[in-house]
Structure 1
Amino acid sequence: MTTSSRPDSLTTTGDRSALRMERRLPHPPEAVWAALTDPERLARWFPFEVTVDLVPGGTIGFNLPGESAPAASGTVTDLDEPRLFGFTWGTDQLSWSVSPDGDGSLLTLVHTFGDQPGAASFASGWHLCLGALGQLLDGGPVEAGRDDGALHDAYVERFGLGRGVVESVPGGRRLRLERQLVRPAEVVWDTLCAGVEPVPGLPVPEGFTAEKVEAGHVTEVRPPGFVTFAVEPDGAVSWELGEGTGHGARLVLTQSGPEGFDAETALAAWQERIERLAAQLLTRPSLP
């Protein structure tokens, strides 16, 4: 079994974010090290099958189960048995450190990456994997479990990933919210429409609006991933659903307006609207 020694955390510097997760394990460092580095044991709790040349500078490959060609690869950057195992995974960096802790071990994972809005997906995935690692070390059956989205969205709240930003743009101001959602674009679109599809030239359906934002007519629509419509004063709102981390669609919402546009009030309204959308999605199956 695993127990958290301190809350999982996320720090961001420039365009790189670092997720830190600590777990206390009632097993000696040597046992934990074997579960981290032996491909056969890794395959029972890690999200991919792993092949690794366990030397500094060695190649590490991440294979989908049953596939011979690696889906991604990296390089072993740190190796100090049984204390430190670090490697790259594409553009990401993972560092696993193991230290004695009483009659057990303290395992620390630091995952560094460039996609800050994806942090909740990474955290919820590793949360489940670390639970499976504890089951493996305990000698029982290993069941990684699945997240229906609630764990993911709890990390969104913990890390403050739903806040958005306001920025100056030529001729005015713009707010921007980017959030990883837990259902595919088709399900998100269906939820937003609630039976009323947006049509260019007609008022935008209520599901795409927010309180205190004076919505007008649809100007462009490309279901199930894009709609833009006019708003007062002299601005526009766009909803865009694109590729995310694999948990679901990535939402990017923007609203632009002139210099006097109260972007802060509008941002708060959109934050509340997207929180309600996220809660709705938890009640929806993965397919419409």
Structure 2
Amino acid sequence: MHDRLSSDGARTSLHMERRLPHPPERVWRALTEPGEVRQWFPAEMRVEGERVVYDVGPEGRVLAFDPPRLFVHTWGEDELRWEIRPDGEASVLTLTHTFGDRFGAASFAAGWHTCVRAMAAVLDGRPVAAERDSAHLHEDFVALLGLDGVRPHRPGVRYERQLTRPAAQAWRYLSGDGARLGAPPPAAFVPGGVSAGVVSALEGDKLLEYGTAAGTVRWELAEGTGQGPRLVVTDTGAAGAAVWRSHIEHLANDLSDLPPA
């Protein structure tokens, strides 16, 4: 398994490589024939001339179609590049998925890993295993791909992290339902070493803001990639990246241990 990220500054590419013990012609059929695709991919897909049509989600456009070697197409605003090269009597399948949302990479990687594992079962003539909760797989890819999420912010730091549980479940875990304007924030919103004032802004399971001795901390749960929300924490005060990285990684891993709501 060889997985990595690259970026040109504007868009991110996820590169995934898997060796399959089948010749390229067989892998090509699994990749492009609708009757086979539906066995490993969670949507119907068919190629109609220059169009790639799914029964759900956006359509795509064929950019390259060279059996049994190369299939490149768009998927909404994303690009998927599937390459097959022979390796003895087997094949090496490489997927390059290019997209704009860097912090969605772990969700994409977990999804594609599950799909290609199912494709391998189809190729082998084995039953496709029932899909299990992928939260821990997502967290593994966060670590593998280096998606720690901390970025400089003037002043302070900004932390962005995809979560694996719904916003309402994450909010309950944070004890956000007990937050009140003008009162101290629940402890889960405050990392060690930060002296919190009182809650100055509050919006359901979406936003909580409080002052500190050196600035403002703002928690936001926005629409994310996958099944959970995108957590964005901005601290304009003195707490450093290491403090927030430790606090939020602990939160994200605890959430992945919870059963789905």
Decide: shared fold, TM above 0.5.
yes
Q: Equivalent residue for 2:18?
A: 23
Q: For residues 118 and 130 of structure 2, what CA distance do their matches in structure 1 show?
A: 5
Q: Equivalent residue for 1:37?
A: 32
2:118 is matched with which residue: 102, 107, 132?
132
Per the TM alignment, residue 247 of structure 1 is displaced from its structure 2 partner at its CA by 2.2
2:244 is matched with which residue: 248, 270, 275?
270
Are 2:42 and 1:60 aligned? Answer: no
Per the TM alignment, residue 239 of structure 1 is displaced from its structure 2 partner at its CA by 0.6
Q: Which amino acid aligns with 1:184?
A: P
Are 2:186 and 1:187 aligned? Answer: no
Q: Equivalent residue for 1:254?
A: 234
Q: Equivalent residue for 1:286?
A: 260
Q: What RMSD in Å do the two structures reach over aligned CA positions?
A: 1.4
Whether contact under 8 Å (1:215, 1:230) holds in the other structure is yes
Q: For residues 286 and 15 of structure 1, what CA distance do their matches in structure 2 show?
A: 33
Q: How does 1:44-55 map to 2 (within 5 A)?
A: 44-53=39-48, 55=49
CA, structure 1 residues 23+148, in 2 after alignment: closer, same or farther (shift >3 Å)?
Answer: closer
Per the TM alignment, residue 144 of structure 1 is displaced from its structure 2 partner at its CA by 5.6
2:188 is matched with which residue: 183, 194, 207?
207
Whether contact under 8 Å (1:29, 1:98) holds in the other structure is yes
Q: For residues 39 and 28 of structure 1, what CA distance do their matches in structure 2 show?
A: 19
Are 2:103 and 1:117 aligned? Answer: yes
Per the TM alignment, residue 35 of structure 1 is displaced from its structure 2 partner at its CA by 0.5
Partner secondary structure for residue 113 of structure 2: helix
Q: For residues 100 and 144 of structure 1, what CA distance do their matches in structure 2 show?
A: 30
Q: Which amino acid aligns with 1:254?
A: T
1:103-135 per-residue CA deviation (whole Å, 9 max, x = no partner) reads: 111110000000000000000000010000000
Q: Gaps spanning 5+ residues in structure 1: where?
A: 65-70
Partner secondary structure for residue 39 of structure 2: coil
Task: Among all aligned residue pairs of Structure 1 and Structure 2, give the percentage whose two residues are the same amino acid.
Answer: 44
Q: How does 1:2-17 map to 2 (within 5 A)?
A: 4=1, 7-17=2-12
1:228 is matched with which residue: 209, 213, 218?
209
CA, structure 1 residues 122+32, in 2 after alignment: closer, same or farther (shift >3 Å)?
Answer: same
Per the TM alignment, residue 162 of structure 1 is displaced from its structure 2 partner at its CA by 1.9
Are 2:227 and 1:241 aligned? Answer: no
Q: For residues 148 and 92 of structure 1, what CA distance do their matches in structure 2 show?
A: 22
Per the TM alignment, residue 61 of structure 1 is displaced from its structure 2 partner at its CA by 1.3
Q: For residues 161 and 214 of structure 1, what CA distance do their matches in structure 2 show?
A: 27
Partner secondary structure for residue 10 of structure 1: strand
TM-score (norm 2): 0.96
Q: For residues 157 and 110 of structure 2, what CA distance do their matches in structure 1 show?
A: 28
1:122-164 per-residue CA deviation (whole Å, 9 max, x = no partner) reads: 0000001000000000012123622341110011111121241
Q: Equivalent residue for 2:131?
A: 145
Q: For residues 47 and 177 of structure 1, what CA distance do their matches in structure 2 show?
A: 31
TM-score (norm 1): 0.87
2:94 is matched with which residue: 108, 117, 133?
108
Per the TM alignment, residue 48 of structure 1 is displaced from its structure 2 partner at its CA by 1.5
CA, structure 1 residues 12+143, in 2 after alignment: closer, same or farther (shift >3 Å)?
Answer: same
Whether contact under 8 Å (2:179, 2:185) holds in the other structure is yes
Q: Equivalent residue for 1:68?
A: none
Whether contact under 8 Å (1:210, 1:269) holds in the other structure is yes
Q: Gaps spanning 5+ residues in structure 2: where?
A: none
